């Protein structure tokens, strides 16, 4: 069934606040949703300045929230997952680099490793997500991205929300990612780059999504790729940020912030964990693009139990 047909139920067009991959030309549409869904009070888990900065830029860096022992625990968990291989992990969740067999990503880390399960529920992250999204939250997606030294490949510019809306059926912009750096991110080893202010604009993409697009897109994206002109405009408006920092640094970014990262030709590997929180009220519906939704390991449709924030240190050792 074509995308247009799939979005007509009994002949009526389905309401789509953020249509994409439907027209022959890219457009820049306004954001219809709040960025900070909660109202700031002195009890909020973020300072007023940090809240305003997230609202304005579409991202925020949290430094020194984990102690050295916690960072070590997280780094060992990342190494363990990477070495675990197909037999210990759900095979589908292991994504290799195009061309080489190197591990590029491992998905659903919060269900495959208890350190990452604990991290995803940690109050230092989860309470911030609950505040910014102003709702109970659940984990829409989690993953480790490994970008090895010398030959680590890039992630081209994209808005996560564009893909989550079209391919997964996330209705509105009420989700965010938290990335926890698990190696130092320097200006040189392919750090995450973000376009400040881009979260206020929805850049539509062209080209109808083929079935099972995720099988190739997780290695290299072909649809859901923004056009050069819109990217150039966003970068001219707000510049390009590439926050750096040691392992343990956390970057929070809105679901619609345009981001990407360059390849890594330095000898220094770059590994980041990502946890995506979505508001329970913004649960997935039928995709707005292809008829068949992507599998659960990449987009939670059934596993939507609210995260119960856990306070206190992350455990020191994990099996
Ligand atoms: O398709 C996705 O859901 C994933 N792809 C990218 C490039 N970023 C977000 C997400 O992990
Ligand atoms: Fe992304």
Instruction: Give yes or no for residue 163 CB within 6 A of ligand 1.
Output: yes
DSSP helix, strand, coil percent of the chain (3-state; round to 5): 30, 25, 50
Asked, for residue 9, whether it belongs to a domain, the answer is no
pLDDT (tens digit per residue) in 234-293: 999 999 999 999 999 999 999 999 999 999 999 999 999 999 999 999 999 999 999 999
> 249 vs 61, 66, 139, 198, 242, CA distance in Å?
7, 8, 20, 22, 13
Please state the rounded mean pLDDT for residues 210-221. Answer: 84
Is residue 78 included in any domain, yes or no?
yes
Cβ–Cβ < 8 Å for 54, 35: yes
- Is 90 or 247 the better-scoring residue by pLDDT? 247
Closest-lying ligand to the alpha carbon of 257? 2
Check if 158 has its Cβ closer than 6 Å to any atom of ligand 1.
yes
Task: Please tell me the distance between residue 255's alpha carbon and the centre of ligand 2 in angstroms.
Answer: 8
Q: Whose CA is nearest to atom 9 of ligand 1?
A: 160
**Ligand number, closest to the Cα atom of 163:** 1
Q: Are 273 and 119 in contact (CB under 8 A)?
A: yes
Q: Does any domain span residue 17?
A: no
Total count of domains within the chain: 1
Which segments of the chain are extended strands (E)?
8-9, 12-13, 28-30, 59-62, 94-96, 103-107, 137-147, 155-158, 175-181, 192-194, 201-203, 250-254, 259-261, 270-279
CATH of the domain at 266: 2.60.120.620
**pTM greater than the 0.75 cutoff:** yes
Expressed in angstroms, the distance from the first to the final Cα of the chain is 46
Q: State which residues form the domain around 83.
A: 26-318
Closest residue CA from atom 10 of ligand 1: 160
Question: pLDDT, tens digit, for every residue of 22-81?
Answer: 989 999 999 999 999 999 999 999 999 999 999 999 999 999 999 999 999 999 999 999
Residue 4 lies in a domain: no
DSSP helix/strand/coil, 8? strand
The answer to whether the CB of 160 is under 6 A from ligand 1 is yes
User: Ligand 1 centroid to 141 CA: how many Å?
Assistant: 9
């Amino acid at each position: 069934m074509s995308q247009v047909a799939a979005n007509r139920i009994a002949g009526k067009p389905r309401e789509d606040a953020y249509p994409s991959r439907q027209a022959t030309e890219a457009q820049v549409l306004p954001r219809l949703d709040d960025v900070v869904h909660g109202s700031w009070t002195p009890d909020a888990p973020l300072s007023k300045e940090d809240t305003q900065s997230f609202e304005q830029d579409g991202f925020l860096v949290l430094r020194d929230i984990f102690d050295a022992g916690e960072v070590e625990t997280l780094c060992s968990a990342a190494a363990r997952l990477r070495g675990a291989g197909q037999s210990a992990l759900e095979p589908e969740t292991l994504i290799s680099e195009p061309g080489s067999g190197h591990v590029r990503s491992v998905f659903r880390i919060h269900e495959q490793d208890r350190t990452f399960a604990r991290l995803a529920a940690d109050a230092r992250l989860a309470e911030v997500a609950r505040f910014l999204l102003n709702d109970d939250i659940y984990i829409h997606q989690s993953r480790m991205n490994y970008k090895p030294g010398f030959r680590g490949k890039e992630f081209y510019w994209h808005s996560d929300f564009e893909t989550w809306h079209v391919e997964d059926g996330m209705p509105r912009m009420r989700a965010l990612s938290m990335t926890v750096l698990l190696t130092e991110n320097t200006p040189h080893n392919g750090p995450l780059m973000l376009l400040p202010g881009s979260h206020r604009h929805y850049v539509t993409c062209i080209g109808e999504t083929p079935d099972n697009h995720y099988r190739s897109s997780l290695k290299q994206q072909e649809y859901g790729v923004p056009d050069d002109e819109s990217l150039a405009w966003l970068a001219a408006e707000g510049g390009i940020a590439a926050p750096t920092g040691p392992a343990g640094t956390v970057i929070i970014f809105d679901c619609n912030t345009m981001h990407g990262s360059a390849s890594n030709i330095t000898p220094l590997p770059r590994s980041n964990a990502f946890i995506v929180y979505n508001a329970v009220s913004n649960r997935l519906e039928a995709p707005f693009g292809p008829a068949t939704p992507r599998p659960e390991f990449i987009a939670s449709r059934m596993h939507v139990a609210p995260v119960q924030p856990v306070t206190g240190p992350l455990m020191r050792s994990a099996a």
